[in-house]
Amino acid sequence: MNMIARRMFIVLSVAAFWAVLLVSPVSANAAPLQPGGPLPDFKLPIPEHSADKEYLGLTTSGAFTIAQIKAQVVIIEILSMYCPYCQREAPEVNRLYEIIENNADLKSKIKLVGIGAGNTPFEVQVFKGKYSVPFPVFSDEDFTLHKAFGEVRTPFFIGVRINDDGSHRVFYAKLGGIEGAESFVKLMLRLSGLEQEKKP
Amino acid sequence: MKRSLSVALALVVLSVFVCASSVFPVSEAFKKNIYDPGVLKPTDSVLKVKVGDLAPDFALPSLSGEGISLSQYRGKNNVVLSFVPAAWTPVCSDQWPGYNIVEDIFKKYDAILLGITVDNLPTLHAWTNQMGKLWFPVLSDFWPHGAVADKYGVLRSDGTAERALFVIDKKGIIRFIKVNDINQRPKLEELVKAIEGLGE
């Protein structure tokens, strides 16, 4: 093998390695998720718990996308059992859930979902149990989703608007807490466009 | 050909190290004060104790001001030693806040947790203040530097400690050892299983 062929072999070997590395269902983003575009392409497992399944309006088994949730707005919290901020914020996020669920109009339109970044299913259950979290929280044990969201610090809240045609758009993506459940509901209604749609 | 193959493989291996990153969802509780040391050698010490050994006794200053020795728990409590490498680093900053919400599990099995790093007390004071109020003592193995970590064989060559867990029963016998990859957090369920194994 001459020198050029050898070099070609080396370059192709390394390129092949990178190609294998980069082809995956969910790719890692360097920057935190921004509003304006779609979510990264990912699916979550249909919850085994029937109450969670019912809450999300899911009827099938297997996996689902956020856009398949029966709602017009989905609020996603990227959290961790190991995050003291998330621990402190948990009661307020629970209150957010209660405000929505106790409002007949909002209940059918807005749903909450948690994703435990780097948390095993056991660790997610510990967090849910400790703070009596009433909404579904999914394990992202190997950080796949966390990477796709741009390796955000926690807690990180994402607002997703789901359209009638099944398409969706991220309208809110922000690091930090919700700073008051009532004002956060108002913010979600305004930024998602739901508030304007209610007006005649 | 053989040489070309070796070079290619070396480049691929190098690429793995270049693209690896210490992905962790650092809590916003620490703002931007976490220093990222990058990906470190997973372990860098040789254990000097094994399961079944009598745990080496030690006495260290704690954040509360009182000196704490391992032997003071003999016959009273099971003890979990949690060595973490250094204050203000990504994985360490999340690990203890996670343990902070499972006090009930420790209490159920008469277990006390002792958090240990090789940092000095002022550093530990500032760092743990960001975690909220911790229910367990935090000990400083600062001087003689890392002497206790060294006694157990978990002092790394750069003077930090391994991310290591030791479960010691009421008789002072080591019942479980986990020297984790320093870049990753040990799964909570492994520790819980070890504590459960001690019996109520």
Nearest residue to A143 via CA among A58, A63, A60, A82: A82
pLDDT tens figures, B141-192: 999 999 999 999 999 999 999 999 999 999 999 999 999 999 999 999 999 9
CB contact under 8 A, A146 and B23: yes
Smallest Cβ distance to A87: which of B7, B95, B97? B97
CB within 8 Å of chain B, chain A residues 112-131: 117-118, 120, 122-123, 126-127, 130
Task: Judge whether A10 lies within some domain.
Answer: no
The CATH code of the domain that includes A137 is: 3.40.30.10
For residue B88, what pLDDT band results from cuts at 50, 70 and 90? confident
Q: Which residue carries 């254990």 as its tokens?
A: B47
A141 within some domain: yes
Interface confidence, given as ipTM, is 0.82
Closest Cα of chain A to B74: distance in Å?
29
Which chain B residues touch A14 with a CB distance below 8 Å?
8, 11-12, 15
Q: What residue type is B192 in one-letter code?
A: V
Q: Which listed residue (B60, B91, B92, B194) is catalytic?
A: B92
Residue-number span of the structural domain to which A157 is assigned = 31-198
Q: Domain total for chain A? A: 1
Asked if B73 and B96 count as a contact pair (C-beta separation under 8 A), the reply is: no
Position A138 in a domain: yes
B92 is catalytic: yes
* Predicted local confidence at residue B199, as pLDDT: 67
Residues A5-33 have pLDDT tens digits of 455 444 434 333 333 333 334 556 668 89
pTM: 0.84
Q: What angle do CA B27, B42, B189 make, to 5 degrees?
A: 60
List domains and CATH numbers for chain B: 2-196 (3.40.30.10)
pLDDT of A134-153, one tens digit each?
999 999 999 999 999 998 98
Residue A20 forms part of a structural domain:
no
In a domain, A66, yes or no: yes
**Residue A174 belongs to a domain:** yes
**B66 is written with which tokens?**
């009182």
> Does residue A21 lie in a domain region?
no
**Residue A143 falls inside a structural domain:** yes
